[in-house]
Amino acid sequence: MRDEILAVDGGNSVLPASIEYKWPKLRADWRDCVLGQLDSGKLSIYDRSGVVADFEDSWSKLLDIEFSLVTSSGTAALHSAFYGIGLGPGDEVLCPTYTFFATAVPLLQLGALPVLVDCKPDGSFDAELAADLVTERTKAIVVTHMWGLPCEMTAILALADRYGLDVVEDCSHAHGARYRGRPVGAFGSAGAWSLQTQKIIAAGEGGVLATGRRDVYDRAQLLGHFNKRAVREMDTEGPLYRYATTGLGLKYRAHPLGVAFAAGQIAELPQWIDAKQDYANRIAEYFQRIDGVRALTMSTAERTSAHYALLFEVDPEVVEGGRDWLVRACNAEGIGDVDVPKATSPLHTLEVFQDPVSPVVKYDKECIRSSYPVADRLAARTFKISVPCAPRGHEDEDDRYLEAVRLVTEKIADHLSRQDGRSLRHSPL
């Protein structure tokens, strides 16, 4: 057992050079897909054809769902889902407060109001708390499978059934996650994924919506895919078909180069999710050698996490300086990926939910209708770290990343086990 001075206290860092988890990998075959698309000259795809159709077909197959629609971002996919289910002014939507704000902000574009709900201790949507916030205006529930861990969909669907609500799943962290063996995103009226550069399926920028409902798909096409696609794809008998040529003023088409980069990744997703289970187990084991640190988002028998990231809670009564100290200590030893998810501050702490505004209505109700102690606790005590997936050709790189995590956590755990001050009640390893 070493007892070196920690880098955060002025010692040498355990890693010779700082290491960051690299994603997406720029694999040769994915580059070739992009170059092939470029060479095709098709830098704008107006209808459902080419690489866009290939991506959508693969996505629908993966989800075992009828319709997929590639969009310019996850935010656009969520907006399309909300418009798709018919939300409008005055409607209320039960939303997690513990999520990234783009889960809820698109509702403002429709004049619908997000009503914020506290989370469970693992960060997932709490259907019981949500039930207390249902009013006669409530029309839908949106949930986020945070950090890749599926929400308890059985309870959420039961609540939705009880009040006749639509369910939208924000799966932006959860490509390939499964609940009771079924892929997330296919449980409710629509699923939405971001394909932004850090995401498990990465286009650089992009998104995708999936739905089993023809009406949702058609409305989503109308919102952002006017002219050729909407004209060719929408149900000609549907009530909104006459607007297909012009659409409704938005264009949410994705860039074909990004789609080409991402399309080839889909086939490998199931293997990546398997690999992530193993990496997540090892990362959890390494960090949990530090007394007072606990992994919150591990998979369970029913909930297979996509492990977009792994979330840990640090008990400040055990680790002096708590989460912030531990993050600084890991960063100083050379792991830049250990990080406080600042962009995912609980929504009730953000101005736009404290004093909601919409481009289309003046709100007469509040988003904040309860207190949020569980989300506040997560915001104060947790950090996250990326979980690798070892795509073919990059296994060694990801193993080196794991080894770096092992070395850093071992040094910190060893050090704390010898410090009375920092670790307030550390048990020997």
Ligand X SMILES: Cc1ncc(COP(=O)(O)O)c(C=O)c1O
Point out which residues pair with 115 in neighbouring strands: 94
**CB of residue 156 to ligand X, shortest distance in Å:** 16
Site pattern 197..216 for ligand X (x: CB under 6 A): ----------x---------
Choose, by CB under 6 A, the member of 194, 211, 297, 331 that binds ligand X.
194
Nearest to 208 by CA among 190, 194, 222: 194
| Phi, psi dihedrals of residue 267, rounded to the nearest 5° | -60, -30
**CB of residue 384 to ligand X, shortest distance in Å:** 12
Give CA angle at 379 (378, 380), nearest 5°.
Answer: 90
| Using rule CB under 6 A, residue 99 touches ligand X | yes
Choose, by CB under 6 A, the member of 100, 125, 272, 312 that binds ligand X.
100
Question: Between residues 144 and 417, which has the closer beta carbon with respect to ligand X?
Answer: 144
- DSSP reduced 3-state for 22: coil
* End-to-end C-alpha distance for the chain, whole angstroms: 10
**CB of residue 101 to ligand X, shortest distance in Å:** 8
- CB closest to ligand X, residue no: 74
Site pattern 7..46 for ligand X (x: CB under 6 A): ----------------------------------------
Integer Cα distance of 149 and 302 in angstroms: 10
Choose, by CB under 6 A, the member of 60, 144, 299, 417 that binds ligand X.
144
**CB of residue 294 to ligand X, shortest distance in Å:** 23
- DSSP reduced 3-state for 220: helix
User: Interface with ligand X by CB under 6 A: which range of 23-31, 94-102, 244-252, 263-271?
Assistant: 94-102
Integer Cα distance of 193 and 74 in angstroms: 5
Question: Between residues 73 and 299, which has the closer beta carbon with respect to ligand X?
Answer: 73
For ligand X, the binding residues in 64-93 under the rule CB under 6 A are 73-75
User: Interface with ligand X by CB under 6 A: which range of 99-107, 120-128, 218-226, 258-266?
Assistant: 99-107
For ligand X, the binding residues in 152-171 under the rule CB under 6 A are 170
Question: Between residues 103 and 304, which has the closer beta carbon with respect to ligand X?
Answer: 103
Burial of 45 (C-beta count, 10 Å sphere; 0-12/13-18/19+): buried
Integer Cα distance of 320 and 308 in angstroms: 28
Q: Is the Cα torsion angle 96, 98, 100, 101 positive or negative in sign?
A: positive
Tell me 319's DSSP state.
B
Question: Between residues 152 and 169, which has the closer beta carbon with respect to ligand X?
Answer: 169
Tell me 294's DSSP state.
E
For ligand X, the binding residues in 296-335 under the rule CB under 6 A are none
Size, binding site for ligand X by CB under 6 A = 14
Choose, by CB under 6 A, the member of 60, 103, 189, 417 that binds ligand X.
103
Q: What is the DSSP string of 53-73?
A: HHHHHHHHHHHT-SEEEEES-
Question: Strand pairing of 293-295 and 207-211?
Answer: unpaired
- DSSP reduced 3-state for 279: helix
Given the rule CB under 6 A, which residues bind ligand X? 73-75, 99-100, 102-103, 144, 170, 172-173, 194, 196, 207
